[in-house]
Structure 1
Amino acid sequence: MALPVPSRYVNELEPTVLILIGILLVVFPEPATSAFGAGLLLLGLGWWFYEWGR
């Protein structure tokens, strides 16, 4: 059985990190970080779907 090639998954890693950071900032109880976290979350989701369609 062949091992997966890591270079195939680099494009999914970057938006996934943005999504995780966005979730953490939304959970942090301060309005400014929640708004910034929601923005990062939406940016990461958009980027993730863009990479998925390619």
Structure 2
Amino acid sequence: MDLSWSSLSDDIAPTTVLVLGFLLFVFPEPATSAFGAGLLLLGAAWWFYEWDRF
């Protein structure tokens, strides 16, 4: 298991995008909800891309 900064950022970045997208999605304004939904989709795709990548 590699514990370098690049390995850690590959694990943390998609999760951060998912959390930020969720927070914007639940904020009660249409523009932020749409942006949050987009970030959720991007974060989920990024997370699945990084899933089995070594």
Q: Which interval holds the TM-score relative to the shorter structure?
A: 0.7 to 0.9
TM-score (norm 2): 0.82
Q: Say which one has the larger Rg.
A: 1
Identity of aligned residues (%): 59
- Structure 1: tracts of 5 or more residues without a match: none
Structural RMSD (CA): 1.5
Q: Which residue of 1 aligns with 2:21?
A: 22
- Structure 2: tracts of 5 or more residues without a match: none
Number of residue pairs the alignment of both structures matches: 51
Q: Structure 1 segments of 4 or more deviating over 6 A?
A: none
TM-score (norm 1): 0.82
